[in-house]
């Protein structure tokens, strides 16, 4: 069986890629066709997230096992994980982090399934628009507009030190032990 997967960006209007890929292909195969179709070099620690219907991240499929998760957590590595292990039906949602430094992502959706065919390698079947730059500068307007909601306070202000929402009264100096002896 083949999956038809659509990839879009929330940064660039009109950008779209569609792929036909075999259900037995690995997430690394999908990673490679995404990078190639966008003209990105293969030099970043990209990752996939399986998402629920509300785009909430569930399982992560990483480029490599970095050994940073708890022993009881399953580690899924792109080269060892087949698409059919996580894609079970049309409509499945995935997130692909292509800029790990700024947490920028593409959003993927399984648009269709086709039985009776097999592909040795993924095919790009539709291309529209130019991909966003892969690694954005930290002071880029694109990055400033894509601050994740976890970095925003209830009143809409940034939660970074030095922002207007920082209050000196919230700082408790008794929580720190300061010694004049550096040794």
Q: Are the C-beta atoms of 3 and 85 separated by less than 8 Å? A: no
Beta bridge partners of 3: 21, 113
pLDDT digits (tens, 9 = 90+) for 4-48: 999 999 999 999 999 999 999 999 999 999 999 999 999 999 999
* Dihedral Cα 72, 102, 25, 16, nearest 10 deg: 150
pLDDT of residue 139: 55
Per-domain boundaries in the chain:
2-128, 141-175
pLDDT of residue 154: 44
Nearest C-alpha neighbor of 48 from the set 12, 81, 19: 81
Q: Which fold has domain 2-128?
A: 3.10.290
C-alpha distances in angstroms, 44 versus 6, 10, 21, 101?
22, 20, 22, 9
pLDDT of residue 15: 97
């Amino acid at each position: 069986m083949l999956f038809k997967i659509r990839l879009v960006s929330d940064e660039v209007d009109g950008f779209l890629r569609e792929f036909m890929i075999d259900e037995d292909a690995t997430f690394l195969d999908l990673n490679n066709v995404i990078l190639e179709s966008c003209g990105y070099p293969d030099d970043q620690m990209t990752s996939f997230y399986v998402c629920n219907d509300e785009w909430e991240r569930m399982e992560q499929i990483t480029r490599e096992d970095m050994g940073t998760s708890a022993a009881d957590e399953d580690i899924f590595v792109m080269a060892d994980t087949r698409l059919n292990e996580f894609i079970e039906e049309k409509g499945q949602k995935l997130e692909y982090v292509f800029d790990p430094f700024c947490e920028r992502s593409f959003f993927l959706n399984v648009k269709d399934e086709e039985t009776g065919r097999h592909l040795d390698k993924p095919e790009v079947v539709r291309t529209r628009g130019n991909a966003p730059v892969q690694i954005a500068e930290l002071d880029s307007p694109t990055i400033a507009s894509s601050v994740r909601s976890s970095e925003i306070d209830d009143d809409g202000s940034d939660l970074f030190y030095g922002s207007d929402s920082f209050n000196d009264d919230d700082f408790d100096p008794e929580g720190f032990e300061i010694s004049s002896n550096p040794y």
